Amino acid sequence: MSDLIDSSAKKSSLALEPFGPIGIIGHTANKDFVNKVNSVLSEKRANRVEKNAHPYVHSPGYARKDYIFESELVRFQTGEGKFVMGESSRGHDIFIITDVISHNLKFDLVVGDHTISPDDHYRDLIRMVSCCMGKARRVNVIMPFVYEGRREKLDSHRESYDCAEMLQSLYNLGVSKLIMFDPHDARIANAVPLMDIEMPQCRFKIISTLLERFGSVKLDSESTVVVSPDETGAARAIQYASVLNLPLNIFYRVRDYSESPSGSPVKTFNFLGDDVTGKDVLLIDDMINSGETMYRTAKQLHELGAKDIYCLAPFGLFTDGLKLFDELYNKEIIKGVLCSNLIYRSEELLSRPWYVDVDMVPYVARIIDAINMDESVYDLINSTNRIEEMTKQIRLGEIFDLFNE
């Protein structure tokens, strides 16, 4: 057994040659994010070259000022389009970064302006992948928000199953690796069991940003609790509660058919958990869509006597606008809302005093760097150890503060 461990340790310490020069292709909708990833990656590798910190730092294409490929998405007035690259992808390790949920772009149709939809973005992604196939050594897709990822199960044989079809299309086109962040349900990967899929979590960066921005938060069971707004999000809340060693509470649906002559039950949400009076609350969900769920849960927690409420979610869509959270903040019901910058956020959202942007740019750059070098990304994907180390440091800091008082 010890020989196996020693052998594994030796293999993990090997420095592998880059799979090929990195080439990054960004969708028009998320150019700002892609440019930032490119800058961080370029700086990281330039530092390694300066310090000669890796045996392959002088490999052709390893360190470049700009990894972004010159490209353009062309749209015709009929709505059709094409993808054009200004340089060859031959021999490169291509990383396509797309934001399928952005709604910040329009194009001119015969009948007027058309806002680019997720379907349009997905079709553009297929164009990008197809353009690189047969030339690039490897094509990887980074799709933080999964296209049709909320349809993770088939409720009826009369419904479409778009997420599975999307995954199978990318696999059949020859995509080597798909990286998607915090999917609604990880079981969607079962649609393509042979495809290499990574599912990084935003937990570490969300928690570290929370602690940096709100110094009053104490991660101990006497001061803070984790809450899931419904039973479907319990698994995600359990992850937060487990790594932070905090109590878990949950709201669950109660369906009353007695006062519903039409057959549709009246739904209420009951609280299951400990007393939250005077305690901070980490309200966990996989995304903020319309905001109704967070709104309803935050109001109920406030009525139960909760102190400061923090809404944490990897993706903030805010499809019904920002007025619900404006109301919660103005009434001092919530302290802040933390979401990642992996998808488009409007200037209006970024200007809100209650919104905190969680920067995932360095994380994405590190993932690209590791995949290109064929490094194990397990420690990057699994943030549990880093969160535990961070909380240990916080507790030690609190102990030293007590001695200094």
Task: Classify residue 168: in a domain, yes or no.
Answer: yes
Task: Classify residue 5: in a domain, yes or no.
Answer: no
Strands (E), 102-184: 106-109, 112-115, 138-142, 177-179
Q: Is the pLDDT at 6 greater than 70, yes or no?
A: no
Q: Is the pLDDT at 23 greater than 80, yes or no?
A: yes
Residue 355's identity, in one-letter code, is Y
- What pLDDT sits at residue 5? 42
Q: Is 310 exposed, middle or buried (0-12, 13-18, 19+ CB in 10 A)?
A: buried
For residue 373, the SS3 value is: coil
Please answer whether residues 260 and 287 qualify as being in contact, where contact means their C-beta atoms are separated by less than 8 angstroms: no
**Same-domain pairing of 167 and 275:** no
Instruction: Give the residue from 13, 14, 15, 11 showing the smallest Cα distance to 59.
Output: 15
- Structure-token pair, residue 195: 């495809």
- What pLDDT sits at residue 253? 83
Please answer whether residues 293 and 236 qualify as being in contact, where contact means their C-beta atoms are separated by less than 8 angstroms: no
Q: Is the pLDDT at 7 greater than 50, yes or no?
A: no
- Structure-token pair, residue 6: 């020693």
DSSP code of residue 73: E
* Whole-number Cα distances in Å, 86 to 118, 120, 229: 25, 22, 48
- What pLDDT sits at residue 13? 54
Q: Is the pLDDT at 4 greater than 60, yes or no?
A: no
DSSP β-bridge partners for residue 250: 228, 272
DSSP per-residue string spanning 306-349: -S-EEEE-SEE--TT-SHHHHHHHHTTS-SEEEEESSS---HHH
Task: Classify residue 347: in a domain, yes or no.
Answer: no
- CA atoms of 105 and 116, how far apart (whole Å): 6
Task: Classify residue 7: in a domain, yes or no.
Answer: no
Q: Is the pLDDT at 22 greater than 80, yes or no?
A: yes
- CA atoms of 372 and 176, how far apart (whole Å): 12
- What pLDDT sits at residue 262? 63
Q: What CATH number should be reported for the domain holding residue 322?
A: 3.40.50.2020
Task: Classify residue 379: in a domain, yes or no.
Answer: no
Q: Is the pLDDT at 402 greater than 80, yes or no?
A: no
Q: What percent of the chain has pLDDT over 90?
A: 65
**Same-domain pairing of 27 and 135:** yes
For residue 92, the SS3 value is: coil
pLDDT tens digits along 356-380: 999 999 999 999 999 999 988 887 7
DSSP code of residue 116: P
**Same-domain pairing of 155 and 287:** no
- What pLDDT sits at residue 376? 84
Higher-scoring residue by pLDDT: 77, 95: 95
Average pLDDT value for residue range 19-38: 91
Please answer whether residues 52 and 123 qualify as being in contact, where contact means their C-beta atoms are separated by less than 8 angstroms: no
**Same-domain pairing of 369 and 277:** no
DSSP β-bridge partners for residue 271: 251
Task: Classify residue 353: in a domain, yes or no.
Answer: no
Average pLDDT value for residue range 9-16: 59
pLDDT tens digits along 93-130: 999 999 999 988 888 887 788 888 999 999 999 999 99
Q: Is the pLDDT at 65 greater than 70, yes or no?
A: yes
Q: Is the pLDDT at 3 greater than 60, yes or no?
A: no
Contacts of 8 (CB under 8 A, 6+ apart): none
Angle at 289 between CA 262 and CA 366, to 5 degrees: 150
Task: Classify residue 141: in a domain, yes or no.
Answer: yes
Task: Classify residue 275: in a domain, yes or no.
Answer: yes
Q: What's the pLDDT band for 207 if we cut at 50, 70, 90?
A: very high
**Same-domain pairing of 194 and 274:** no
The model's pTM:
0.89
DSSP β-bridge partners for residue 281: 225, 309
Residue 58's identity, in one-letter code, is H
- Which structural domain, as residue segments, surrounds residue 121? 16-201+361-374
H-type helices in 189-284, by residue range? 203-213, 234-244
User: Phi/psi of residue 319, each to 5°?
Assistant: -65, -20
Contacts of 80 (CB under 8 A, 6+ apart): none
Contacts of 256 (CB under 8 A, 6+ apart): 265, 266, 267, 268
**Same-domain pairing of 188 and 271:** no
**Same-domain pairing of 27 and 128:** yes
Higher-scoring residue by pLDDT: 206, 150: 206
- What pLDDT sits at residue 152? 59
**Same-domain pairing of 87 and 185:** yes
* Whole-number Cα distances in Å, 52 to 45, 56, 57, 215: 10, 9, 7, 39
Number of C-beta neighbours around residue 156 at 10 A: 5
Q: What percent of the chain has pLDDT over 70?
A: 89
Residue 163 is inside which H or E element, if any?
A: helix 162-173
Tell me how many domains the chain contains: 2
**Same-domain pairing of 188 and 208:** no
**Same-domain pairing of 140 and 184:** yes
Residue 79's identity, in one-letter code, is G
- CA atoms of 29 and 114, how far apart (whole Å): 14
**Same-domain pairing of 228 and 314:** yes
pLDDT tens digits along 240-283: 999 999 999 999 888 766 666 666 676 788 999 999 999 999 99
381 alpha-carbon distance from chain centroid: 11
Q: Is the pLDDT at 401 greater than 60, yes or no?
A: no
Q: Is the pLDDT at 171 greater than 60, yes or no?
A: yes
State the chain's mean pLDDT as an integer.
88
pLDDT tens digits along 287-306: 999 999 999 999 999 999 99
- What pLDDT sits at residue 104? 85
- What pLDDT sits at residue 259? 64
pLDDT tens digits along 209-223: 999 999 889 999 999
**Same-domain pairing of 134 and 208:** no
Average pLDDT value for residue range 36-59: 93
- Structure-token pair, residue 353: 């005093």
Residue 64's identity, in one-letter code, is R
H-type helices in 191-287, by residue range? 203-213, 234-244
DSSP code of residue 17: P
